[in-house]
Structure 1
C-alpha cells in the first residue's frame, strides 16, 4: 500500500529497551477532499530513510498495516493498529511523481521502407 501527501512532522529517532529497538515517527497529511493526518512509524534500519526529508516535502510512502492483540489484567482483549513505512520518495511540487513527463514529438515521419502491399502469410 502507499500514502501520498505532505510531511507535517518528523520526530527524532527513539531507542527503547536493552535490545536497542529504534523507532522514528512522522505525520503525513494526505491529499484528499478530506485530508487525513496519518502517523507513520519507521523502525530499526528504516529510521534513517527520513534523514533527507523535511517538513513540507511532498512524498509517497510505501506502508504496511500492522495489528496486534493485548490482553489487559482484567482479561479483556484490546486491539491496536499501526502504520509502518518501509520506503519513501519525494514527489515533485505538483505531486505527479519524481519522473518528468515525456514530451510529444511533433515531427513524426513514417518509415520509407514499408510497402503498401504486404504479403498475406497469415494461416487463416
Structure 2
C-alpha cells in the first residue's frame, strides 16, 4: 500500500542491541491531503530509514505494510514503511538515502500536544 502526505513530526530515533546486532527504528507522523486530512504514525526500520526524505515539512510517498497482533487479549497494529520517497524539490525525483557516515537532520519538534479545552477526547 502507498500513502502520500507531508511529514509533520519526527519522533526520537530508537536504537538497541538484539541477537542479530544493532537495530534502529524511526517513527514519523505524516498528514494526508484532501477534504478530510488524516494523521498517520509510521515506523521505518534499519536501512529503510530514508534520512533525505524524512525532514519536517517534506512531501513524501510511503510504501508500507500493516500488521496487527494480539497480546493478552488486546490488539496492536503496526504500520511499517518499506520504501520512503521524497516528493519535495528535485522536480519530483526520488531522493535515495545514504547511510554510510550520514548525519541525522536536526529539527525542532514539539514535545507536547496542545489541546484546547473543547477537546474532550479519551486518548
TM-score range relative to shorter protein: 0.5 to 0.7
Question: Would you say 1:98 and 2:99 are equivalent positions?
Answer: no
* 1:18 to partner: Cα distance: 4.2
Separation (CA, whole Å) in 2 of partners of 1:32 and 1:82: 24
Separation (CA, whole Å) in 2 of partners of 1:29 and 1:55: 11
CA displacement 1:45-94 (0-9 Å, x = unmatched) = 223x2x113111111100100111102xxxxx11010111111111257x
Separation (CA, whole Å) in 1 of partners of 2:77 and 2:16: 19
* Corresponding residue pairs, total: 89
1:74 matched to which residue of 2? none
Larger radius of gyration: 1
Q: TM-score, normalised by structure 1?
A: 0.63
RMSD: 2.0
Residues 68 and 59 from structure 1, CA distance in 2 versus in 1: closer, same or farther, beyond 3 angstroms?
same
Q: TM-score, normalised by structure 2?
A: 0.64
Question: Would you say 1:41 and 2:11 are equivalent positions?
Answer: no
* 1:12 to partner: Cα distance: 3.6
Question: Would you say 1:21 and 2:17 are equivalent positions?
Answer: no
CA displacement 1:86-107 (0-9 Å, x = unmatched) = 11111257xxx826xxxxxxxx
Q: Equivalent residue of 2:92, what SS?
A: coil
Structure 2: stretches of 5+ with no match in the other structure: 94-123
Structure 1: stretches of 5+ with no match in the other structure: 72-76, 100-124
Separation (CA, whole Å) in 2 of partners of 1:62 and 1:18: 26
Question: Would you say 1:81 and 2:77 are equivalent positions?
Answer: yes
